[in-house]
Amino acid sequence: MMKYRSTRNPGGRVSLETALGSGTAPDGGLYMPEVLPNFSLSDFDDAETWVDIATRLLEPFFAGSTLEATLPEICADAFDFPLTTTGDDPKVLELFHGPTSAFKDVGARFLAASLSRCSNTTEKTILVATSGDTGGAVAAAFYQRQGFRVVVLFPNGRVSQRQQHQLTCWGDNILSLSVDGAFDDCQRMVKEAFANPEWVEQFGLASANSINIGRLLPQMTYYAASSIWHFRETGVRPTFLIPTGNLGNAFSCVLGRAIGLPVGEIHLVTNANRPIPDYLESGDWQPRTTIETLASAMDVGNPSNMERLRDLYPDHPVLTQQVSATSVSDTEIIQRIRKEFEETGLIHCPHTATAMEVYRRGYRGDKNCLVVATAHPAKFDDVMEPITGEVPIPKPLADLLRRPAHSREIPADVQVMMEQLSGWSRG
């Protein structure tokens, strides 16, 4: 049976269901699988599709849990949109074909599919603070799911217009609150709510933030599928260039390689927020105040999943052999978007553009390199349009943009948030 331990207290072990429902461990650490399975390529011999490969990969992580028997169903429910690679210079792994056009859909849909199959007797209220993409993905994933309500908190005026639309176009079991403050205020309010045991009990508060193991595990599956497909075709383990903020996406790739996936080099690409590249260089972990950049979903000065990366590779010299990292500035992002558009006609979102920049700089022409595309550029029309002109809108995004939007504005005060929650009747 697979148990999950905290990065801070290896002694306390919990079940998969508990880890999924609670986000962080009670000691403030992050959950990790207690033992790492060890796959070889032949374990995937008869698995072709993303869903088949995912189901095989996640079996040991669900072993002995009440969800074990439903894992195939969970994977089919969550991974119901295309996972594709396009191009060959570079090959691009497109993770943005889900309902909200960013890779966050993968984790959010898997978490929703899993939690809705846990035996819940009381209604759960998912609280999620978002700087843009997470809240929309979580709202979309839980929309109209029985037994769940979602409260999305976002900083008023600090997300793109289309992101805001994705956060506020739901209704029914989703409550969108526009907070008069910054993302950090939203996060603080969520933490304050969870720190009050009466509220946790009364409202069945649950979290769906990016440190939940229920988002990390499914994110391994697209690295599994794409690395296995590439290896079968070429006999070579591909390199991944990964746009990185809170390190959730990239850590999934690192963990996937550690359990035997045919993944080669892993290069973490950050925006101007540089704690990760600086740490790899110096060995001295220094979280910083967040800097605002054009790749806003990667604006993280203190990436939480660093704690998992250092748990897996506590020894700095070993860690520096496992991953490399580069920081890309806003000027470089704009120039890269423009150049790619002029020279190839392709449009990359500001996040993906960071990885594209590193490809052109250090991996140009490498056929065994996959650039990870984390969002569709049409989500960031405010950044894109001055450079590329209008970006064609993909169908899932167009469908959401047609829905009417509603949100309530509140001050950055947890009491007011809880009053809203108390007075909220679904409609």
Ligand X SMILES: *Cc1c(COP(=O)(O)O)cnc(C)c1O
Stretch that binds ligand X, among 49-57, 71-79, 241-249, 323-331 (CB under 6 A): 241-249
In whole angstroms, how far apart are CA 415 and each of 24, 135, 192, 268, 365? 23, 21, 10, 39, 55
| 361 alpha carbon, distance to own chain's centre | 26
Site track for ligand X across 113-142, x = CB under 6 A: --------------------x---------
Q: Which is nearer to ligand X, 239 or 374 (CB)?
A: 374
Among 173, 209, 212, 244, binds ligand X (CB under 6 A): 244
Among 164, 374, 388, 407, binds ligand X (CB under 6 A): 374
Site for ligand X in 89-118 (CB under 6 A): 102, 104
Q: Does 256 bind ligand X (CB under 6 A)?
A: no
Site track for ligand X across 69-88, x = CB under 6 A: --------------------
- Distance (Å, rounded) from C-alpha 210 to C-alpha 214? 9
Q: Which is nearer to ligand X, 71 or 137 (CB)?
A: 137
| Residues paired with residue 13 on neighbouring β-strands, in sequence order | 5
Among 214, 238, 248, 275, binds ligand X (CB under 6 A): 248
Stretch that binds ligand X, among 149-157, 242-250, 311-319, 362-370 (CB under 6 A): 242-250
Size of residue set near ligand X by CB under 6 A: 17
Among 93, 347, 375, 414, binds ligand X (CB under 6 A): 375
Q: Does 351 bind ligand X (CB under 6 A)?
A: yes
In whole angstroms, how far apart are CA 386 and each of 310, 334, 346? 40, 10, 15
Q: Does 276 bind ligand X (CB under 6 A)?
A: no
- Distance (Å, rounded) from C-alpha 17 to C-alpha 154? 28
Backbone torsions φ then ψ of 334, nearest 5 degrees: -60, -45
Shortest separation between residue 99's beta carbon and ligand X, angstroms: 14
Rounded to the nearest 5 degrees, what angle is found at the Cα of 101, between the Cα atoms of 97 and 104?
100
Q: Which is nearer to ligand X, 267 or 351 (CB)?
A: 351
Shortest separation between residue 197's beta carbon and ligand X, angstroms: 29
Strand-pair category, 148-155 with 124-129: parallel
Q: Does 246 bind ligand X (CB under 6 A)?
A: yes
Site track for ligand X across 172-211, x = CB under 6 A: --------------------------------------x-
| 304 alpha carbon, distance to own chain's centre | 12
Q: Are 394 and 349 in contact (CB under 8 A)?
A: no
- Distance (Å, rounded) from C-alpha 106 to C-alpha 102? 8
Query: 14-50 in b/e burial notation, b at 16+ Cβ within 10 A?
Result: bbbbebbbbbbbeeebbbbbeeebebeeeebeebeeb
Q: Does 247 bind ligand X (CB under 6 A)?
A: yes
Rounded to the nearest 5 degrees, what angle is found at the Cα of 264, between the Cα atoms of 234 and 373?
85
Stretch that binds ligand X, among 61-69, 122-130, 245-253, 361-369 (CB under 6 A): 245-253
| Structure tokens given for 358 | 């590193």
Shortest separation between residue 425's beta carbon and ligand X, angstroms: 32
Q: Does 275 bind ligand X (CB under 6 A)?
A: no
Dihedral angle, C-alpha 327, 332, 334, 336, nearest 10 °:
-100
Residue found under tokens 């526009």: 178
Q: How far apart are the first and last CA of the chain?
A: 42
Q: Does 221 bind ligand X (CB under 6 A)?
A: no
Shortest separation between residue 376's beta carbon and ligand X, angstroms: 9
Shortest separation between residue 209's beta carbon and ligand X, angstroms: 10
* Contacting residues toward ligand X, per CB under 6 A: 102, 104, 133, 210, 243-250, 297-298, 351, 374-375
